[in-house]
Amino acid sequence: MDKVKWVNGSKSIAAYRDQLIAEQGGVCAILGEPMEKPCLDHDHIEGKCRGVIGSEINMFEGQVQKLWGKHVEGKTQLTMTEVLRRLADYLEEDKKHFKFHAGVIAEVKSALKRRTKETIARNALFHLNLVIDQDLDKGDMIAIYLREFVKQLEESYSSEFD
């Protein structure tokens, strides 16, 4: 291996990571935000270092790669990056004229059941601008949250269906 072209060993990796962090202005190459646990990211096929990203986004990227290989690779002529760009465009498209899927209520309810009463109250305030008394029964808190969730969804798009 040509030592100029490779980073090898913890000291070399740390030094290169620090150099790239400085070049990136101290922020994650993907999120553009400060990182708690910076990782030297690299392409797992070609080996090329790509930049420094936070460990959480590195794990996310790794799961995307894993799921691509398991479920999509070989089933399309598109590359993973092309599909991800199309996915981002698709997710950002205006879908206000589409109907709601009732399954979202069950999904939100299921997620709320796994949360503490404190978290339910905090999420209600943050997402719905709704104050829910934490002294209530958890089931009642969830019912209040879901009623407001549905109400706000329907109100925000009601003019599209009228």
| Each residue's pLDDT tens digit, 109-132 | 999 999 999 999 999 999 999 999
Q: Is residue 61 part of a domain?
A: yes
Kindly report the average pLDDT of the chain as a whole number. Answer: 94
pLDDT-above-90 percentage for the chain: 85
- Provide the domain count of the chain: 2
**CATH number, position 45:** 3.40.1800.10
Q: Is residue 72 part of a domain?
A: yes
Closest CA to 108 of 94, 79, 84, 128: 128
Q: Which two tokens stand for residue 118?
A: 């404190």
Rounded average pLDDT over 89-101: 90
pTM score of the predicted model? 0.73
Q: Are 53 and 30 in contact (CB under 8 A)?
A: yes
Q: Is residue 96 part of a domain?
A: no
What pLDDT digit, counting tens, does each position of 144-158 carry?
A: 999 999 999 998 875
Directed axis angle between helix 117-128 and helix 138-161, to 10°?
20
Which single residue is written with the structure tokens 């490779």?
6
Say yes or no: 114 and 65 in one domain. no
Say yes or no: 115 and 61 in one domain. no
Q: Is residue 140 part of a domain?
A: yes
What pLDDT digit, counting tens, does each position of 14-29 carry?
A: 999 999 999 999 999 9
Q: Is residue 98 part of a domain?
A: no
Q: Is residue 51 part of a domain?
A: yes
Q: Are 41 and 49 in contact (CB under 8 A)?
A: yes
Q: Write 90-97 long-range contacts (CB < 8 A, 24+).
A: 96/157, 96/160, 97/160
* Confidence bin at 161 (pLDDT 50/70/90): low
| Residue 145, domain extent | 103-161
Domain limit, last residue, from 49, 80, 111: 80
Alpha-carbon distance of 84 to 124, in angstroms, equals 31
Say yes or no: 115 and 75 in one domain. no
Say yes or no: 69 and 25 in one domain. yes
Q: Is residue 95 part of a domain?
A: no
Say yes or no: 14 and 54 in one domain. yes
